[in-house]
Amino acid sequence: MGREDFDGHVKQVNTERTHAQQAFHLLAKPTGAVCNLDCAYCFFLSKEMLYPGSRFRMADELLERYIRELIDAHVNAPVVEVSWQGGEPTLMGLEFFRRSVELVNQYLQPGQVAEYTIQTNGTRLDEQWAAFFSEHDFLVGISLDGPREIHDVYRVTRGGRGSFDQVMRGLGHLRAGGVRFNVLTTVNAANEHRGREVYRFLRDECAARFVQFIPVIERVSEAGGDGEDPWFSWRDRPLYTQTGELVTNRSVSAEGYGRFLIDVFEEWVRRDVGEVYVQMFDTTLANWVGERAGMCVHCETCGLALALEHNGDVYSCDHFVEPRYRLGNIGEQRLVDLVGSERQKQFGLDKRDTLPRYCRECDLRFACHGGCPKDRFATTPDGESGLNYLCPSFKLFFNHVSQPMRLMSLLLAQNRAPAEIVQLYEKTDVRRGRNAPCPCGSGRKWKLCHGRGGRIPPPAEEALSPADRGRRRAGIDRPRSTDDTSRDERKNLELAEDRPDHPAARSEPPLTRLGER
């Protein structure tokens, strides 16, 4: 992605944020929790218990009502986001989605466009699905946890076999069909120590240009007697609710998510800024420049990302599909009324209003905002409840990236591409001794950690998707070098300007030795 592409992307993100302030996101689950896989950490599988006896298929009448209400609720918005999730939504079959596009076209108002997204495990995708997604410009999210030996630890079929090959085959169809896709990777006990390896796999083997990392935190009230998780699948358990102060052994550790992100960041910031979009890094930068963050988890308030079940029930959030958070049913109330209800507003405000004092007084609050309420089951050092389980991770990560985030926000303030930071890192890295400690904080030597291996050779032309071949021909993915930036320009990167008004500037030294933290 070049400078203009990046600027275009930033504009697009900004536009989306502006809309988000008026609009909302609704994740529709046409098959409810039903899925063809049996991922060990998927608490959502247990949600089948909410609807005993159901066929778990959204009826045509309800589909039409949903589409009509969704568009009605976006009467003043030029873009209507139509998002499908599960369970596994492709179990509905292609005809269901063809029909949904037909209905969207029928109800869209003049001047409005629809943006389609779908989150899938990828195992059922073939040429027909890819052609359909490509025709209607779907953005397809694929769930993939890393290379085979990592992915197959938890992401298994009902027969207990790894799903890696099926997912990669589905991804291959998307790439061959030129479909826009992003990868959703969970951070769990099996991959939390392998951030850089996972990231490189996604970037180099999967050609992912949009990546989301989601921490796995499975709450439980009691562990098994031997310290092991007493079950492998949530299908065997009672309904999962956001209760309990322990986590399963599959869950990421309280510091592990932060270390994983740092491991990825130290790779990304040296070569991929502006080329690979990592949702968490974009969100962090947004908070650093004072814009609304893309991830609700790190926004001050939330409540604009709801879930619709296969029977029309609307819940406050995809993570709170449980009886206490059911707002109503679109067969009985208008969707716009459910979304705008006092109850839902309060749900969103509670994210800010229930923060413990420890968070309210935290220097990193502007970037963190206490994380998602579902994970606030830890206790602060002074004994108050409601601290996020991932607080140690947030502190590690946000402190670690504070200097580069400041630098990128200053570049943006000068109307320059944040990607210029890559040259600064190169400049610092060439002066670093091979045996010096790696700046990622792993304790390993630079030469054995992020300084290892240098550049990864670009993939062969024939291994690229048509879209990536186009990018390469356009010179978008050429390797960078310090020659790309003139010496004078590099001098200008000694950014003397500062923004003392911003909370991030309060306790930081001037940015003169970037990368040497």
**CA proximity to 203, closest of 31, 459, 382:** 459
Q: How far is the CB of 296 from ligand SF4 (least distance, A)?
A: 3
Cα 464 to Cα 60, 156, 458, distances in angstroms: 39, 28, 10
258 contacts ligand SF4 (rule: CB under 6 A) = no
Rg of the Cα atoms in the chain: 23
Query: Residue 252 or 317: which CB sits closer to ligand SF4?
Result: 317
CA 407/CA 498 separation, integer angstroms:
9
Query: Residue 312 or 371: which CB sits closer to ligand SF4?
Result: 371
23 contacts ligand SF4 (rule: CB under 6 A) = no
CA 453/CA 330 separation, integer angstroms:
55
371 contacts ligand SF4 (rule: CB under 6 A) = yes
351 contacts ligand SF4 (rule: CB under 6 A) = yes
The footprint of ligand SF4 on residues 383-422 (CB under 6 A) is 388, 391, 394-395
Peptide bond into 87 cis (omega under 30): yes
- Asked if 388 and 394 count as a contact pair (C-beta separation under 8 A), the reply is yes
Q: Three-state DSSP class for 97?
A: helix
374 contacts ligand SF4 (rule: CB under 6 A) = yes
Q: Which of 7, 204, 282, 318 is catalytic?
A: 318
372 contacts ligand SF4 (rule: CB under 6 A) = yes
**CA proximity to 277, closest of 213, 233, 195:** 213
Query: Residue 186 or 465: which CB sits closer to ligand SF4?
Result: 186
339 contacts ligand SF4 (rule: CB under 6 A) = no
Structure tokens, 401: 């990236």
43 contacts ligand SF4 (rule: CB under 6 A) = no
Q: Please state whether 459 falls in left (phi above 0), alpha (psi between -120 and 50) or beta.
A: beta
The only residue of 183, 273, 297, 407 in contact with ligand SF4, by rule CB under 6 A: 297
- Asked if 387 and 359 count as a contact pair (C-beta separation under 8 A), the reply is yes
Query: Residue 208 or 368: which CB sits closer to ligand SF4?
Result: 368
362 contacts ligand SF4 (rule: CB under 6 A) = yes
- Asked if 440 and 449 count as a contact pair (C-beta separation under 8 A), the reply is yes
Query: Residue 269 or 296: which CB sits closer to ligand SF4?
Result: 296
User: Which of the ranges 295-303, 416-424, 434-442, 484-492 carries the binding residues for ligand SF4, by CB under 6 A?
Assistant: 295-303
The only residue of 209, 259, 319, 406 in contact with ligand SF4, by rule CB under 6 A: 319
- Asked if 508 and 409 count as a contact pair (C-beta separation under 8 A), the reply is no
- Asked if 278 and 184 count as a contact pair (C-beta separation under 8 A), the reply is no
Q: How far is the CB of 318 from ligand SF4 (least distance, A)?
A: 7
Query: Residue 242 or 423: which CB sits closer to ligand SF4?
Result: 242
CA 58/CA 60 separation, integer angstroms:
7
359 contacts ligand SF4 (rule: CB under 6 A) = yes
368 contacts ligand SF4 (rule: CB under 6 A) = yes
**Greatest pairwise CA separation for the chain in angstroms:** 70
Structure tokens, 265: 């960041």
Query: Residue 125 or 359: which CB sits closer to ligand SF4?
Result: 359
CA 316/CA 345 separation, integer angstroms:
10
The only residue of 140, 179, 261, 305 in contact with ligand SF4, by rule CB under 6 A: 305
The only residue of 63, 252, 308, 364 in contact with ligand SF4, by rule CB under 6 A: 364
373 contacts ligand SF4 (rule: CB under 6 A) = yes
One character per residue 163-182, x = contact with ligand SF4 (rule: CB under 6 A)? --------------------
User: Is residue 313 flagged as an active site residue?
Assistant: no
**CA proximity to 417, closest of 1, 81, 67, 6:** 6
CA 143/CA 146 separation, integer angstroms:
9
Number of residues this chain uses to bind ligand SF4 (CB under 6 A): 22
In the complex, the residues that contact ligand SF4 under the rule CB under 6 A are 296-297, 302, 305, 317, 319, 351, 358-359, 362, 364-365, 368, 370-374, 388, 391, 394-395
Task: Tell me which residues are annotated as active site.
Answer: 318
